[in-house]
Amino acid sequence: MIIVMERTATQKQLEKILERIEKFGLEPHVIVGVARTVVGIVGDKNGLEPDSFAGLPGVEQAVPIMAPYKLASRDAKQEDTLVKVGDVLIGGDKLSFIAGPCAIESKEQISETAHAVKASGANMLRGGAFKPRTSPYSFQGLGEKGLAYLAEAGRKAGLPTVSEVIEPNDVDIVSRYVDVLQIGARNMQNFALLRKVGRLEMPILLKRGLSATVEEWLMAAEYIMSEGNYQVILCERGIRTYETATRNTLDVAAVALARQLTHLPVIADPSHATGKADLVGPAGCAAIAAGAQGLMVEVHPDPNLALSDGPQSLTPQEFDKMVKQVLRVADAVKQNNLEHDHRPDFNHS
């Protein structure tokens, strides 16, 4: 259930509503939107009816939310959420490009990549320091030393940084070095980790699980938000299907559907979705056409020498070309939407 406050509601009236919710043994979450303020109610609401709040001073209406993800639902907030990372806004009309190597291999490698992707239009730098790999014999990352390299490279290039955290015990360490914590696909339903990052006051990039449904993905976001952190960025990175020609299957429809179901920003990772460098650009264009508000792309100075995910990594030159292609697609979609909005309605006389 959400309680929609009147535009003229006072802070005192809001506080009275919060007190009443807590008396029912429930947890209120205040969501301030551009047009309205709503209060999401989390907990066992068995027996609680909307009439319990109808008619109270400052309350416009109480609305049941049928979706299990209450706080992430469009019912809770109609307008898109903007997640601010430094000077970067994710979720707005301007596309976000998060680029960098799968794994941080050296100080020189991450520094070179940072300056290269910045020159091509990237506004955030990614790099893995703790690498959960399928094989225990694969490169597992440089750990905290890699995070230090990432932080320095981002600072010198003027780019906010993103890196994955894989264990609750590592949250404090990783959050000291980066601007955004990434929850990888294999950890999407690591509920202890989701709750831990939900108690932070920093953005969380949540990747969709390898075999997760869209609802399960949004419920994972709900775990984070239910702890008080509403700065969640959703990332579609491909799901596992019967197809073996690509590393995963990019679920373009899920991008469009998520944009309908939730107010949270939605981006896509065409690198992991395809596993092939020559497919990253086309897949990225498709995701943007479907409504993705940004892309996360793996870029390496020399993919042939990469210690992790070389086949799907772009060179800086290839990334530059991809950005230009994606921006052309975004402009075409925007123009099409404008023309559709101004199309004459022939159904009316």
> Which amino acid type is present at position 169?
N
Contact (Cβ atoms closer than 8 angstroms) between residue 138 and residue 112: no
pLDDT of residue 47: 67
pLDDT of residue 24: 87
Q: Where are the alpha helices (DSSP H) in the chain?
A: 11-23, 107-119, 144-157, 171-177, 191-198, 214-226, 252-261, 270-274, 277-290, 316-341
Q: What tokens were used for 267?
A: 């981006």
pLDDT digits (tens, 9 = 90+) for 179-211: 999 999 999 999 999 999 999 999 999 999 999
163 CB-contact burial (10 Å; exposed 0-12 / middle 13-18 / buried 19+): buried
Tokens 């050296």, located at residue: 106
pTM of the model: 0.90
Q: Which of 13-17, 258-262, 281-285, 287-291 has the lowest mean pLDDT?
A: 13-17
Reported confidence tier of residue 83, pLDDT bands at 50, 70, 90: very high
Mean pLDDT of 88-99: 94
Residue 145: half-sphere exposure toward Cβ, Cα within 13 Å:
7
In angstroms, the CA 236 to CA 270 distance is 8
pLDDT digits (tens, 9 = 90+) for 53-82: 878 999 988 888 888 898 999 988 889 999
Mean pLDDT of 12-39: 88
Q: Which of 93-97, 130-134, 143-147, 252-256 has the lowest mean pLDDT?
A: 130-134
Tokens 């991450």, located at residue: 110
pLDDT of residue 299: 98
Mean pLDDT of 27-41: 84
Task: Indicate whether 348 pLDDT > 70.
Answer: no
Mean pLDDT of 36-46: 81
Domains by residue range for the chain, with CATH: 2-63 (3.30.70.1140), 83-336 (3.20.20.70)
Torsion of CA 144, 146, 148, 149, to 10 degrees: 170
Q: What tokens were used for 241?
A: 């299907």
Mean pLDDT of 223-250: 96
Mean pLDDT of 19-25: 90
Mean pLDDT of the chain: 92
